[in-house]
Structure 1
Amino acid sequence: MKLPLWKCHGSGNDFILINEYEAILFSEEERVTLSQAFCDRTGKLGADGLLFFQNSERADGKMRMFNPDGSEAEMCGNGLRCIGRFACEQFHTDSVSIETLKGVSQVVRDKPIYKGVETYQAELNTISLNIKDIPIAMTSKSLIDQALPELATGLTFTAVSMPNPHLVSIVSQIYDTTLQEIGEKANQLTTLFPKGVNVNFCQIIDEAAIYVRTYERGVGLTQSCGSGMSASALVYCLLGYYPFSKSIEVYNRGGLVSCQATVSHHQHSVLLSGNATFMFSNTIEFDFPNINLMTAYCDHVFVEEIQNYGRLLEYSEGLINNFRFE
């Protein structure tokens, strides 16, 4: 079969996007196979995840996101912005509602986070602090700034369902090797985290600015994680470092985003604003089960978008160098 697809990214967290809005093209088993093949960095494409844009009875469209190991994620903040942009351009509008596995989120075109960078704001509104929603095999109702001796010593964690599961630790310095070790260990501790968990290290770089690094369940260390940055911004406010309802700049390996955490009647939400960059469009020719024998035909490269995003990276790196890390 011949399949058109798009390569896109939010904060360097890159995805292959497949449009199934008019018709469902693949079975559930085939989605797993596609995600494993298309996301393979040693193959012809390579990505952090595979996005499917589908029709919805509850919203303007639906997002499904599969990790490189074939597992399906409940939420993906960076992917949601990319899907939101794709839907807005398909429907010729600046605002769409997108159904995810756990709810409906609004995605709107936002003012550019940097000159020439297409920017979209996604609402993450299915958030819970109840450990049953993560889940964690503990007797307490929540885990807020507490130690997990089974996982690590000298660190405290806060657990948040975004609704995909997240642990956030505020640290004085981020070390990739430590995060990798803790992330891997957390996802091996199925007695504690039966569905696995994303692990985030959050470093304070200024009163209204944090730096976040994420170990993603089913992926590993990535350039950024939209729901992880949102969870970290929420925890930053929850622990009293910064007031709710004010924007926080969140820096990452892939640039920066803006997060605004809010709370109303004990319900939390986060507005996540950042780039939704298209890199190229391709047509892939393949057949099951020999999907690895695919042939890729390049249709279009979004050169200007790639260049503008590169300037954003330089800008964010320059800002980080001006901060005094604590």
Structure 2
Amino acid sequence: MRIDMIKGHGSGNDFLIIDEITNAYSFSEGERAALARLLCDRSSDLGADGILFIMKSEHTDGRMRVFNTDGSEASMCGNGLRLVARYVCEMLGFKEAIIETMKADLKVSQQQDIYPKVTTYQVEISPVSFRLADLPLNLNADNLLNKKIPELSDTLTFSALAVPNPHLISIVELEHLKSELQKQLSEKVNQPNELFPDGVNVSFVKSLSPGSIYVNTFERGVGFTNACGTAMSASSLVTCLQGLNNVEERINVYNNGGKVQCVVHKNEGNFVIDLIGNATYLFRAEVDVDLASENFTVHSKEAFTEQDIYEKLQIEAHAYLRGAGL
């Protein structure tokens, strides 16, 4: 089969975008998983953190499904949603839209550029739950907020929440970020284990200054990634709960792929997070795929020029992180 696609990224978290609204594709569930495993392989001519399937929705402007490199489906992806927001808004000629995701219908909108000439979108991250059963996390407690998990560390404290992807977050110091601890913890909770039977995204967060944090994430089904949108959103919320940042104020969230901004909103005890950042296109491609033989060839590839501009944002973000000792 021949498939048209766009490769893009949000904060260096890169995806292949497949449009099922204007193209007459018909994929089985098995084919979606197989496509993700095949096309996202970093040793291939494409390579990505996952595939974004953009589909028709019966009640919103579009529907997003996200498949990771291992073929698993994610319930939500903040960086990917920005790309889907851009694609759907440009296709329909809208400035804002509603996108159906696995757990919720989410508001998205075009925003003022986060950096000059860097296409920027804001997406809603919700629902937010602190119930351990929603991750799930098997502990004898209803929630986990800034507490120790002795099975994982004698010194670090953790917070757990679903947004709706499951996240385990620890606010750490530089020494922890420069050690192998995050890798060891992440691999432990994403292999067969009693605490997290379905695995979990693990983020180490460093407070840099009021209004600025650094987030490093081991993403379930992917591994260490340049950025994870739901992790950055969840991390921003955790820093507000711990008094490091404030709700209703923009938080600069630095990551290995650049920078985004988050705003945490609280309404009658419920939280919603706005994730604001780039939606950058890298190239358009036509790909001939033979799933039976697990092979594909890139028929054509046309590069966009947007990455050159985005790299200027990256340079500034990385310089800021170096100044902070990261």
What TM-score do you get using the length of structure 1 for normalisation? 0.96
Tell me what 2:59 maps to. 58
Aligned mates of 1:48, 1:152 — CA distance in 2 = 29
Aligned ranges 1:54-203 → 2 under 5 Å: 54-173=55-174, 174-175=177-178, 177-203=180-206
Tell me what 1:10 maps to. 10
Q: Does residue 35 in structure 1 map to residue 36 in structure 2? A: yes
Aligned mates of 1:299, 1:68 — CA distance in 2 = 21
Shift, 1:193, TM fit: 0.8
Q: Does residue 212 in structure 1 map to residue 219 in structure 2? A: no
Tell me what 1:274 maps to. 277
Aligned mates of 1:58, 1:167 — CA distance in 2 = 33
Name the aligned partner's letter for residue 63 of structure 2.
Answer: K
Aligned mates of 1:160, 1:221 — CA distance in 2 = 19
- Structure 1 residues 123-132 or 160-169, which shifts more? 123-132
Determine helix, strand or coil for the equivalent of 1:188: coil
The superposition leaves residues 279-322 of structure 1 with CA deviations (integer Å, 9 ceiling, x where unpaired) of 00000012231232x1103342112x010011111121223344
What TM-score do you get using the length of structure 2 for normalisation? 0.96
Name the aligned partner's letter for residue 215 of structure 1.
Answer: F
- Structure 1 residues 15-24 or 134-143, which shifts more? 15-24
Tell me what 1:251 maps to. 254
Shift, 1:59, TM fit: 1.2
Aligned mates of 1:297, 1:176 — CA distance in 2 = 43
Q: CA RMSD in A?
A: 1.3
Tell me what 1:286 maps to. 289
Report how many aligned residue pairs link the two structures.
323
Aligned mates of 1:247, 1:229 — CA distance in 2 = 13
Determine helix, strand or coil for the equivalent of 1:127: coil
Shift, 1:141, TM fit: 1.0
Determine helix, strand or coil for the equivalent of 1:156: coil
Aligned ranges 1:291-306 → 2 under 5 Å: 291-292=294-295, 294-303=296-305, 305-306=306-307
Shift, 1:169, TM fit: 0.2
Shift, 1:243, TM fit: 1.6
Determine helix, strand or coil for the equivalent of 2:33: helix
Tell me what 1:319 maps to. 320
Aligned mates of 1:245, 1:189 — CA distance in 2 = 39
Shift, 1:177, TM fit: 2.4
Shift, 1:180, TM fit: 1.2
Determine helix, strand or coil for the equivalent of 2:69: coil
Structure 1 residues 290, 211: closer, same or farther in 2, change over 3 A? same
Structure 1 residues 108, 193: closer, same or farther in 2, change over 3 A? same
Name the aligned partner's letter for residue 296 of structure 1.
Answer: V
Shift, 1:150, TM fit: 1.1
Task: Verify the 8 A CA contact 1:24 1:54 in the aligned structure 2.
Answer: no
- Structure 1 residues 3-12 or 55-64, which shifts more? 55-64
Structure 1 residues 42, 176: closer, same or farther in 2, change over 3 A? farther
Aligned mates of 1:79, 1:254 — CA distance in 2 = 14
Shift, 1:188, TM fit: 2.1
Shift, 1:83, TM fit: 0.6
Name the aligned partner's letter for residue 170 of structure 1.
Answer: I
Determine helix, strand or coil for the equivalent of 1:147: coil
**Correspondent of 2:240 among 237, 240, 244:** 237
Tell me what 1:21 maps to. 21
The superposition leaves residues 194-244 of structure 1 with CA deviations (integer Å, 9 ceiling, x where unpaired) of 111000000011111000000000110011100010010000001121221
Name the aligned partner's letter for residue 274 of structure 1.
Answer: G
Task: Verify the 8 A CA contact 1:206 1:323 in the aligned structure 2.
Answer: no
The superposition leaves residues 167-208 of structure 1 with CA deviations (integer Å, 9 ceiling, x where unpaired) of 010001213622111110111253211111000000011111
Task: Verify the 8 A CA contact 2:114 2:277 in the aligned structure 1.
Answer: yes
Aligned mates of 1:175, 1:229 — CA distance in 2 = 19
Determine helix, strand or coil for the equivalent of 1:319: helix
Shift, 1:86, TM fit: 0.6
Structure 1 residues 324, 216: closer, same or farther in 2, change over 3 A? closer
Identical aligned residues as a percent: 42
- Structure 1 residues 260-269 or 161-170, which shifts more? 260-269
Task: Verify the 8 A CA contact 1:261 1:270 in the aligned structure 2.
Answer: yes
Determine helix, strand or coil for the equivalent of 2:180: helix
